[in-house]
Amino acid sequence: MRRHLPTPPPDAFATHRAGVRDGLSLAYAHEGVGGYPLLLVHGYPETRRIWWRNIRWLAEAGFEVIAPDLRGCGDSDLSPDDAYDLVLYSRDLHALVHDVLGHARCGLVGGDVGGPVIVDMALRFPGFAERLVFFNTVAPVVVERAERYAELGLSLAQLDDTHPTADYRIRQGREPEALLADLDTPGRRRRYVAGMYGHRLWAAPGAFTPDEIDFMTEPFADADRLAASWAPYQLAHGRPTSEPPLLDREVPDETLVLYGPEDHAVGPDFAARCEIAFPNRIGPLVIPDAGHFLQWERADVFNPLVARFFSDLKPARQG
């Protein structure tokens, strides 16, 4: 039987703000100051709220937990230039942790869009990431190992627009203006996002109560923020990018790879792809009764795994 951890109230964690880059400030939760620093990076359709079941637990386990909203998401600033891409997210978060909070090194944890972001950070800023936790997202594609993908019956392209669940990705990527026009009220925008937490079966059935879905969808009532959250899907359809993300090579850093198999957005080939991309890995470990929102759905498993994975780094930081 699935054991849900209690969900802290919406105001459980103070909102901190810091200027990072391009004149933008990011909102973030920040608990357990003085512990080993862990950066928790959300994806779509998420904000820092997706970490509500993880923040306090990890802080009490001796970690300094930093859970930001990406630019344009949640309570972080919108970009006045409509500038959103994986490298901008990566550089923003590095500036927050390294330049603002003063951590030369940290642990990185991310799923969905947050997964590629932490990979880019680890490769773009060598030595910054001590270890990674990577789950339910798009794996790096190691182009030089194309033969290995072929041996496993995998194409280099991971996103199949013919899949029956791909309609959201097509519309958000190819025709965001038309989609936004259809979602012309706050209620319609929230119901659209709520589908990812409910009937679209990204999560295991029943993983979110109606009140919890309301909590997760509230930030997406705003049309500009919903549109900003779709930007990563448009990068494959001509949206300008500041620079290419570093997602075409192996990731040498030690990585804990997790997978929630109830996910109808990220398929089971995720595990095989990660075995190619992360040569220095633990896993992939399959977590039962969990899907895309693994950190929320099985926080009872996720939190101890993350704590154990980083536990030996704490004394060096706290001594």
238 belongs to a structural domain: no
196 belongs to a structural domain: no
Give the E-state strand segments of 152-280 in sequence order.
255-259
Residue-range definition of the domain harbouring residue 278? 16-159+244-318
Q: Round to whole Å and give the CA distance between 31 and 60.
A: 9
Q: In sequence order, what DSSP letters do the residues of 142-162 get, joined into one string? A: -GGGHHHHHHTT--S----TT
Whether 137 and 266 have beta carbons less than 8 Å apart is answered as yes
Average of per-residue pLDDT across 1-22: 87
Query: Strand, helix or coil at 136?
Result: coil
103 belongs to a structural domain: yes
In the predicted model, is pLDDT for residue 290 greater than 80?
Answer: yes
pLDDT score, position 182: 97
pLDDT score, position 155: 85
Query: Strand, helix or coil at 64?
Result: strand
247-272 per-position pLDDT tens digit = 999 999 999 999 999 999 999 999 99
Q: Round to whole Å and give the CA distance between 207 and 277.
A: 30
116 belongs to a structural domain: yes
6 belongs to a structural domain: no
What is the CATH classification number for the domain harbouring 151?
Answer: 3.40.50.1820
166 belongs to a structural domain: no
Whether 253 and 120 have beta carbons less than 8 Å apart is answered as no
For residue 279, which of 302, 261, 253 has the smallest C-alpha distance?
A: 253
Buried b (16+ CB within 10 A) or exposed e, 240-262: ebeeebbbeeebebebbbbbbbb
Work out how many domains the chain is built from and give that number. Answer: 1
Whether 94 and 101 have beta carbons less than 8 Å apart is answered as no
- The predicted model scores a pTM of 0.96
215 belongs to a structural domain: no
Environment class of 1 (CB within 10 Å of its CB; exposed 0-12, middle 13-18, buried 19+): exposed
